Amino acid sequence: MLPVHQKLAVTQAFARAMAEGKSISYNGIKLQAKCSIQPRAKGEAMPLYRTILATTDFSNVSDSAVYRGAELATLLGAQLHLLHVIEHFPEDRPSGEPFPENEDPVDFYRRRARERMIEQIQRLNITEPEMHILLSRYSAARSIIEFINSHNTELVVLGNEPKFFSLGSTATSVAHRAECDVLVVRNS
């Protein structure tokens, strides 16, 4: 077991090697940097994420996730996408709100979701996210994964209401299947 100061030295040496695209050897073990990090000019912000997706179902939990995603996008200069999925449509239309008989259900649910998204954006004081509303015959998790893949998303931010110390099904599925970083935000 390495003492803390030696672990720190190895970590720093490996970070330098990554920045230079080189490898290092330590105690006969060769550590190869798998990615190359371009050096930055002094004072230049590090571009961690360029595209951030925040998902919403308009709940208090998703408010926390959307707000956190917007904060990160602002700090990093990233593009923020805001996504709401109406899942299993039209088989399981959202309940609790009947749609007018003279309006197409697709138009009605998109319009209502857009109104709620605009309300959420204004309430959280978020500027200029790209808004996306998907009516999907599949689960929200599957639709989120498809969106991530088609929009080159680098970070997805999801809300989670902890139940019995575990993630919900959508957060779990996205966390396991997404090919980008996933930030799960607890309701605070």
* Domain extent for 68: 51-186
Same domain assignment for residues 79 and 162: yes
Asked if the peptide bond before residue 3 counts as cis, ω within 30 degrees of 0, the response is no
Q: Kindly report, residue by residue over 51-81, the tens digit of the pLDDT.
A: 999 999 998 889 999 999 999 998 888 899 9
Same domain assignment for residues 31 and 73: no
For range 4-26, the mean pLDDT: 58
Same domain assignment for residues 72 and 118: yes
How many domains, the chain? 2
Same domain assignment for residues 65 and 149: yes
Lowest mean pLDDT among 4-13, 47-56, 118-127: 4-13
CATH number, domain of 109, equals 3.40.50.620
Distance (Å, whole) CA 50 – CA 80: 9
* H runs (alpha helix) in the chain: 4-20, 60-76, 105-124, 140-150, 169-177
Sole residue written with tokens 């259900």? 105
Same domain assignment for residues 106 and 175: yes
45 falls within a domain: no
Same domain assignment for residues 16 and 57: no
Distance (Å, whole) CA 156 – CA 81: 9
> How does the average pLDDT of the chain come out, rounded?
77
Same domain assignment for residues 62 and 136: yes
Distance (Å, whole) CA 62 – CA 78: 19
Q: Kindly report, residue by residue over 117-126, the tens digit of the pLDDT.
A: 999 999 999 9
